[in-house]
Chains A and B, each alone.
Chain A
Amino acid sequence: MLTSGAKILVSCLEEQGVRNIFGYPGASILSVYDALAVSSIRHVLTAHEQGACFAAEGYARRSGHAGVVLATSGPGATNLVTGLADAYMDSVPLVAITGNVPLAQLGHDSFQEVDIFDVSMPVTKYGIIVKSASEIAPAVRRAFALAESGRRGPVLIDIPSDVLDCSAEYEPAVPERPSPLLPDEEEIKRAAELIARSSRPLIYAGGGAAAAGAEDRILELSLRLKAPVVTSYMGIGCCPPDHPRFLGVLSDINLKAASAMAECDLFITVGARFNSRYGAFGGLKKRRTPLLQFDSDRAEIDKNVPASASVIADAALALDALLPLVREKDEAEWAYDLLPDSAQENRGTRIIRALTRELGDGVTVTTDVGLHQEWAAHNAQVRTPRRFLTSGGLGAMGFGMGAAIGAHFASGDVCLVITGDGSFNMNLNELTTAVKHHVPLVVAVMNNNALGMIRKLQTARGTKGSAMSSLYLGVDYAALARAMGARGVTVTEEEDVDEAVKNALDGTLPVVIDFRIPINTGI
Chain B
Amino acid sequence: MDNATRQIISILVNNQPGVLSRIAGLFSRRGYNIDGLTVCATEDDRWSRMTITVCATQNTVKQIVAQLEKQEDVVKVMDLDPRGVAARDLLLIKVAVSGAARSEIVDLCTVFGAKAVDVNPDSMMLELTGSTDKVDSFVKTLAAYDIIEMARTGGAALERGSGSLRESAELN
Instruction: Give the B-binding residues of A (Cβ under 8 A).
Output: 117-118, 121-122, 125-127, 129, 146, 150-151, 297-299, 301-303
Whole-angstrom distance between the alpha carbons of A150 and B70 in the complex? 10
Whole-angstrom distance between the alpha carbons of A301 and B21 in the complex? 25
Whole-angstrom distance between the alpha carbons of A117 and B22 in the complex? 10
Cross-chain contact A122 with B18 (CB below 8 angstroms): no
Q: Closest B-chain residue to A306, C-beta based?
A: B59
Cross-chain contact B66 with A121 (CB below 8 angstroms): no
**A and B contact pairs by CB, cutoff 8 A, 30 listed:** A117-B18, A118-B18, A118-B21, A121-B18, A121-B21, A121-B22, A121-B25, A122-B25, A122-B29, A125-B72, A126-B72, A127-B18, A129-B18, A146-B72, A150-B70, A151-B70, A297-B70, A298-B66, A298-B69, A298-B70, A299-B63, A299-B66, A299-B67, A299-B69, A299-B70, A301-B66, A302-B59, A302-B62, A302-B63, A303-B63
Which of A146, A298, A299, A303 counts the most B-chain CB atoms under 10 A from its CB? A299
Cross-chain contact A129 with B21 (CB below 8 angstroms): no
Whole-angstrom distance between the alpha carbons of A355 and B16 in the complex? 53
Whole-angstrom distance between the alpha carbons of A129 and B66 in the complex? 26
A515 to B: closest C-beta gap in Å: 40
Interface membership of B31, Cβ < 8 A: no
Interface membership of B84, Cβ < 8 A: no
Whole-angstrom distance between the alpha carbons of A146 and B72 in the complex? 9
Interface membership of B17, Cβ < 8 A: yes
A378 to B: closest C-beta gap in Å: 32
Quick one: CB contact mask for B38-65 with A, threshold 8 Å, 1 for yes? 0000000000000000000001001100
B79 to A: closest C-beta gap in Å: 14
Cross-chain contact A129 with B29 (CB below 8 angstroms): no
Whole-angstrom distance between the alpha carbons of A146 and B73 in the complex? 12
For B72, list chain A residues within 8 Å (CB). Answer: 125-126, 146
For A146, list chain B residues within 8 Å (CB). Answer: 72
Looking at chain A's contact residues, the main secondary structure is mixed
Whole-angstrom distance between the alpha carbons of A481 and B151 in the complex? 66
Q: Closest B-chain residue to A127, C-beta based?
A: B18
B83 to A: closest C-beta gap in Å: 24
Whole-angstrom distance between the alpha carbons of A129 and B72 in the complex? 14
For A129, list chain B residues within 8 Å (CB). Answer: 17-18
B64 to A: closest C-beta gap in Å: 10
Whole-angstrom distance between the alpha carbons of A127 and B62 in the complex? 25
Whole-angstrom distance between the alpha carbons of A118 and B66 in the complex? 22
B residues 1-47 near A (Cβ < 8 Å) are: 17-18, 21-22, 25, 29
Whole-angstrom distance between the alpha carbons of A117 and B21 in the complex? 11
For B69, list chain A residues within 8 Å (CB). Answer: 298-299
For B22, list chain A residues within 8 Å (CB). Answer: 121
Whole-angstrom distance between the alpha carbons of A117 and B17 in the complex? 11
For A127, list chain B residues within 8 Å (CB). Answer: 18
Q: Closest B-chain residue to A297, C-beta based?
A: B70
Whole-angstrom distance between the alpha carbons of A146 and B59 in the complex? 28
For A299, list chain B residues within 8 Å (CB). Answer: 63, 66-67, 69-70
A191 to B: closest C-beta gap in Å: 19
Whole-angstrom distance between the alpha carbons of A127 and B18 in the complex? 9
Known: A117-B18, A121-B18, A302-B62. 6 other contacts (CB 8 A): A121-B21, A121-B22, A121-B25, A299-B63, A299-B66, A301-B66
B115 to A: closest C-beta gap in Å: 40
For B59, list chain A residues within 8 Å (CB). Answer: 302
Whole-angstrom distance between the alpha carbons of A126 and B70 in the complex? 11
B residues 139-168 near A (Cβ < 8 Å) are: none
Nearest 10 CB-CB pairs, A to B? A299-B66, A126-B72, A299-B67, A298-B66, A122-B29, A299-B70, A121-B25, A121-B22, A122-B25, A146-B72
Whole-angstrom distance between the alpha carbons of A150 and B66 in the complex? 14
Q: Closest B-chain residue to A128, C-beta based?
A: B18
A181 to B: closest C-beta gap in Å: 12
Whole-angstrom distance between the alpha carbons of A69 and B31 in the complex? 31
For B18, list chain A residues within 8 Å (CB). Answer: 117-118, 121, 127, 129
A144 to B: closest C-beta gap in Å: 13
For B67, list chain A residues within 8 Å (CB). Answer: 299
Whole-angstrom distance between the alpha carbons of A125 and B22 in the complex? 11
B172 to A: closest C-beta gap in Å: 14
For A302, list chain B residues within 8 Å (CB). Answer: 59, 62-63
A331 to B: closest C-beta gap in Å: 39
Q: Closest A-chain residue to B18, C-beta based?
A: A117
Q: Closest B-chain residue to A151, C-beta based?
A: B70
Q: Closest B-chain residue to A117, C-beta based?
A: B18
Whole-angstrom distance between the alpha carbons of A90 and B21 in the complex? 24
For A121, list chain B residues within 8 Å (CB). Answer: 18, 21-22, 25
For A151, list chain B residues within 8 Å (CB). Answer: 70
A102 to B: closest C-beta gap in Å: 18
Q: Closest A-chain residue to B63, C-beta based?
A: A303
Q: Closest A-chain residue to B64, C-beta based?
A: A299
Whole-angstrom distance between the alpha carbons of A75 and B101 in the complex? 62
For A298, list chain B residues within 8 Å (CB). Answer: 66, 69-70
Whole-angstrom distance between the alpha carbons of A146 and B70 in the complex? 11
Whole-angstrom distance between the alpha carbons of A122 and B21 in the complex? 10
B75 to A: closest C-beta gap in Å: 15
For B17, list chain A residues within 8 Å (CB). Answer: 129
Whole-angstrom distance between the alpha carbons of A150 and B71 in the complex? 12
Q: Closest B-chain residue to A150, C-beta based?
A: B70
Whole-angstrom distance between the alpha carbons of A117 and B59 in the complex? 31
For A301, list chain B residues within 8 Å (CB). Answer: 66
Whole-angstrom distance between the alpha carbons of A128 and B63 in the complex? 26
A155 to B: closest C-beta gap in Å: 9
For B21, list chain A residues within 8 Å (CB). Answer: 118, 121
Whole-angstrom distance between the alpha carbons of A127 and B66 in the complex? 20
B13 to A: closest C-beta gap in Å: 13
For A303, list chain B residues within 8 Å (CB). Answer: 63
A176 to B: closest C-beta gap in Å: 15
For A122, list chain B residues within 8 Å (CB). Answer: 25, 29
